[in-house]
Amino acid sequence: MPSTLSFKMKMPGMKFVCLLMAAELLWSPVSSSISVLRLSNSTDYCTLANSHLSCDFTGVDEPVYAEEGYLENIDSVECRGPLVLHLPENACIKNMTIQHTKKVVVTGRSWKTSCNEYHLFVNNTTMTAIPLTTTHLHAVRSTCYKMTLHPKMKHVSIVSSRVSFLTTDQFLNDSVVVNITNTTVHYVNSLSASKNAKIQFLASDIAYMRLDRTALQDNAALVMVNSRIRAGDNQELLVPPGVSVILDRLDSKLEIRAIGIIPGSESSQSPESCNGISIKESTTQYFVQFVFFCASTVFLLLVVLFMCIKIMTTCLLKRSVRQIPDSVGHERQIRQNGNTLSEISLNELFESSGNFLNESFLHDHEKTAEADEKKELERPY
């Protein structure tokens, strides 16, 4: 009896062990058959030649991963045609080309070393973001959901592409050049540049731009040629001294306002606050200079006008002085001649009228005397 009971008590344990053994036997071949596609020389879709890894995943529906440990001692990688490529945000590859990829998911961290240079070339590809280690970016006919520009970047070229969200986390510097050509940008959250950095929009369309978060200083430059800005929270761009802004055939209501910078401000200030900018002092300074220029110009014009009037007055006085003697003599002669003529005409008229009166008076007197004589003879005594 005791032996029988002990055997029955051991039966459940044995069944559990048997189940574990069966599960291991079933799992081992399945787990060994599952494989992950990586950017690696050991992958059937990749070939390595002179530290250049070329992979072609065209027609492959499985995702591809770029992981640390599989790309050691490789200077350049070319990846073509995967359905999805998982790329760490701190990937460190000297030269990487991604072409004809439906989606590049940039997330997570796997590389622990820092990159001195990371050249990323994207063609006909959609990316969720740009790796933070990227120093040189060139994108053609591609789409990027979030493009964050950082101070480590040295050159950025976006051509015939679409960017949903464009922003800068810090000031671009060290003469970095950002060229955005024939590209549609849906939302520009912030643009900040300093130390000879240059940002250019050529034949591009910006749906919405936060001008209040656009900060330029230290000889930075902003160029917008044959482009359009549809809307924004603010249509006024603050431009401190030394900054170059070129607007040519820009379809926008953008207005430029000159400002000054408080001495001692650092170039690493937040682009959202613009704490180092003094609008009141700079506006007063430029207003005083403008008023001084206008006053100087008006004063010079008045001096020139006064000199011209003085010269013309002097010339007129001289001419009038020369003409006075001749006019006076001529006037006197006219007056004398006029008096002579008037006297002669009056005398002649008086004399003629006098003679006429005397003759008529005598004739009438003679007629009256004859009549009186006839009356005396005819009167009866």
Tell me: the pLDDT tens digits for 93-146? Answer: 899 999 999 999 998 877 766 788 999 999 999 999 999 999 999 999 999 999
Residues 6 or more apart from 13 whose CB is under 8 A from it?
none
The model's pTM: 0.60
206 Rama sector, left if φ>0, alpha if ψ -120 to 50, beta otherwise: beta
User: Residues of the chain whose pLDDT is less than 70?
Assistant: 1-34, 112-113, 233-234, 260-288, 320-381
Q: How many CA atoms lie within 13 A of 5 on its CB side?
A: 2
φ/ψ (deg, to 5) at 229: -120, 110
Residue 11: per-residue pLDDT: 52
- Position 120 scores a pLDDT of 96
Q: Which residue do the tokens 């408080």 mark? A: 262
Domain range summary for the chain, segments of one domain joined by +: 35-134, 138-300
What are the counts of helices (DSSP H) followed by strands (DSSP E) for the chain? 2, 27
Q: Which residues pair with 209 in a beta bridge?
A: 188
Burial environment of residue 299 by CB neighbours within 10 A (0 to 12, 13 to 18, 19 or more): exposed
- Mean confidence (pLDDT) of the chain: 77
Q: Say what the pLDDT of residue 92 is.
A: 86
Q: pLDDT at position 30, please?
A: 39
Contact 237, 212 (CB under 8 A): no
Among 100, 98, 102, CA closest to 118: 98
Provide the Cα torsion 330, 333, 335, 338; round to 10°.
Answer: -120
d(Cα 29, Cα 196) in Å, to the nearest integer?
A: 61
- Return the DSSP state at 114: P
